[in-house]
């Protein structure tokens, strides 16, 4: 029996697709927020969400993940959970990184739709109602697409824009650009992502990998309200390497292109040598230059293969993506993954 059709929320666009009829009314919205050393902003963030809640026309649960903070973030989250019954706090046993923290949140989210948003209010929560409207109209992933980005250096803006476009060109499936982690996903998308067995995750490509119907919701990204970015240039570079290697095998194919280019250089040099044989004693610099070029390209190719092997090795170790030390708030709240052991979850054992 097909589910009874539902009415769109007041102000939302009319139902656009047959799938829209499956959206529960009013339904439960989960908001997943990874937090690492966010003591300066976390109370303001919760205040903004709390004042937005009545306008959402959905029941709400807010899942904060404390990703090994060394400041007062956890203490503040405990206070928030003690006063707001909609709040769940997942305390990770150490800093596992933003991707792992978001994965933990997705694992615990019970909502019919799940929003992922940063803790620092760079992504304005006031965009969420528009995402919900798109979802009610049948869109499965309503992702925030940045029209402008306040408070970022010109260097970050240019490198991020170039990286997004290069990254999209390496993907075997459509990949939105100028977008981050701020998005609303339907329950079916969350289930598909959560059920992917890989432990090391890059959600910005894993969510598009799952397919479904994606649509942008344009917004202006604000500057950080308080606190500092958690990404040094070194961490950003490591994230970019993970992003590419976990998501695409095209860089491996580029080794063939490098080999072909080197072969052309070799053949050109040989032709030149035969046409114009150098005088005795004049060949050494040319030989050293070619040997150096060869060694550099070969070493880079081996290192690239090594990066893929390393990530494969880590997957075979099978360690969980994160480990949970404690869960606060919402008595009896359980991870939605049926494979997670009953009782207090210790990790995302899949
Ligand atoms: N974050 C996290 N674990 C980390 C680093 C960051 O949970 O190891 C969280 C952080 O608290 C924030 C979000 O990820 O909610 C994005 O981090 P940040 O704002 O520093 O990144 P940026 O916006 O500067 O790229
Ligand atoms: Mg930020």
Q: Is 231 in the pocket of ligand 1 (CB under 6 A)?
A: yes
Q: Is the pLDDT of residue 151 over 70?
A: yes
Q: Is 57 in the pocket of ligand 1 (CB under 6 A)?
A: no
pLDDT at 331: 59
Q: Is 101 in the pocket of ligand 1 (CB under 6 A)?
A: yes
* Residue scoring higher pLDDT (270 or 16): 270
**What residues does 148 pair with on adjacent strands?**
220
Q: Is 138 in the pocket of ligand 1 (CB under 6 A)?
A: no
pLDDT at 97: 95
Q: In what order do the strands lie in the sheet with 179-186?
A: 214-221, 141-149, 179-186, 113-116, 28-35, 59-66, 87-92, 324-328
Q: Ligand 1, closest atom to CA 102?
A: 7
Q: Is the pLDDT of residue 318 over 70?
A: yes
pLDDT digits (tens, 9 = 90+) for 228-258: 888 888 998 899 999 999 999 999 999 999 8
Ligand 1 pocket test, pick from 100, 103, 120 with the greatest ligand atom count within 8 Å of Cβ, gives 120
Determine which residue's CA is closest to atom 19 belonging to ligand 1. 229
Ranking 85-89, 279-283, 333-337 by mean pLDDT, the lowest is: 333-337
Ranking 90-94, 115-119, 158-162 by mean pLDDT, the lowest is: 158-162
Q: Is the pLDDT of residue 11 over 70?
A: no
Confidence bin at 196 (pLDDT 50/70/90) = very high
Q: Is 39 in the pocket of ligand 1 (CB under 6 A)?
A: no
Q: Is 67 in the pocket of ligand 1 (CB under 6 A)?
A: yes
Q: Is the pLDDT of residue 5 over 50?
A: no
For the chain, give the mean pLDDT: 86
Q: Is 214 in the pocket of ligand 1 (CB under 6 A)?
A: no
Q: Is the pLDDT of residue 59 over 90?
A: yes
* Residue scoring higher pLDDT (103 or 339): 103
Q: How far is the CA of 43 from the centre of ligand 1 (A)?
A: 16
Confidence bin at 103 (pLDDT 50/70/90) = very high
177-181 mean pLDDT:
89
Q: Is 38 in the pocket of ligand 1 (CB under 6 A)?
A: yes
The phi, psi pair for 263, rounded to 5°, reads -60, -40
pLDDT at 282: 74
pLDDT at 340: 43
Quote the CA–CA distance of 336 and 35 in Å, as a whole number. 21
Q: How far is the CA of 118 from the centre of ligand 2 (A)?
A: 6
- What residues have CB less than 8 Å from 134, skipping those under 6 apart? 13, 142, 184, 215, 217
Q: Is 186 in the pocket of ligand 1 (CB under 6 A)?
A: no
Confidence bin at 16 (pLDDT 50/70/90) = low
Residues in the chain: 350
83-99 mean pLDDT:
95
Confidence bin at 294 (pLDDT 50/70/90) = confident
Q: Is the pLDDT of residue 158 over 50?
A: yes
Q: Is 119 in the pocket of ligand 1 (CB under 6 A)?
A: yes
Q: How far is the CA of 64 from the centre of ligand 1 (A)?
A: 13
Let me know: does 61 contact 330? Beta carbons within 8 Å: yes
* Residue scoring higher pLDDT (291 or 143): 143
Q: How far is the CA of 4 from the centre of ligand 1 (A)?
A: 41
Q: Is 118 in the pocket of ligand 1 (CB under 6 A)?
A: yes
Confidence bin at 297 (pLDDT 50/70/90) = confident
Q: How far is the CA of 99 from the centre of ligand 1 (A)?
A: 9
Q: How far is the CA of 295 from the centre of ligand 2 (A)?
A: 40
Ranking 20-34, 283-297, 333-347 by mean pLDDT, the lowest is: 333-347
Q: Which of 350, 252, 253 is nearest to 309 (CA)?
A: 252
Confidence bin at 343 (pLDDT 50/70/90) = very low
Q: Is the pLDDT of residue 159 over 90?
A: no
**What residues does 88 pair with on adjacent strands?**
63
Q: Ligand 1, closest atom to CA 96?
A: 8
pLDDT at 8: 41
Determine which residue's CA is closest to atom 24 belonging to ligand 1. 229
């Amino acid at each position: 029996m097909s589910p009874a059709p539902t009415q769109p929320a007041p102000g939302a666009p009319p139902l656009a697709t047959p799938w829209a009829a499956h959206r529960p009314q009013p339904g439960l919205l989960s908001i997943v927020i990874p937090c690492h050393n966010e003591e300066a902003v976390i109370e303001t963030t919760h205040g903004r969400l709390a004042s937005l809640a009545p306008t959402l026309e959905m029941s709400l649960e807010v899942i904060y993940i404390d990703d090994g903070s060394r400041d007062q973030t956890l203490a503040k989250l405990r206070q928030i959970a003690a006063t707001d019954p909609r709040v769940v706090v997942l305390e990770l046993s150490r800093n596992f990184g933003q991707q792992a923290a978001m994965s933990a949140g997705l694992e615990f989210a019970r909502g019919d739709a799940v929003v992922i948003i940063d803790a620092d209010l760079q992504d304005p929560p006031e965009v969420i109602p528009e995402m919900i409207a798109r979802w009610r109209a049948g869109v499965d992933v309503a992702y925030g697409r940045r029209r402008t980005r306040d408070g970022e250096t010109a260097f970050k803006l240019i490198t991020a824009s170039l990286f997004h476009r290069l990254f999209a060109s390496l993907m075997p499936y459509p990949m939105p650009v100028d977008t981050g982690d701020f998005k609303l996903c339907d329950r079916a998308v969350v289930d598909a992502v959560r059920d992917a067995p890989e432990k090391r995750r890059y959600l910005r490509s894993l969510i598009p990998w799952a397919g479904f119907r994606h649509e942008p919701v344009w917004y202006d990204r604000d500057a950080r309200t308080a606190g500092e970015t958690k990404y040094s240039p070194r961490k950003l570079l490591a994230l970019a390497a993970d992003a590419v290697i976990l998501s695409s095998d095209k860089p491996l194919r580029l080794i063939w292109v490098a080999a072909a280019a080197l072969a052309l250089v070799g053949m050109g040099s040989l032709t030149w040598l035969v046409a114009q044989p150098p005088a005795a004693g004049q060949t050494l610099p040319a030989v050293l230059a070619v040997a150096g070029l060869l060694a550099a390209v070969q070493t880079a190719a081996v290192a690239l293969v090594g990066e893929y092997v390393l990530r494969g090795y880590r997957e075979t170790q099978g360690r969980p993506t994160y480990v949970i030390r404690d869960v606060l708030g919402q008595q009896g709240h359980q991870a939605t993954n049926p494979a997670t052991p009953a009782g207090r979850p210790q990790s995302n054992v899949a």
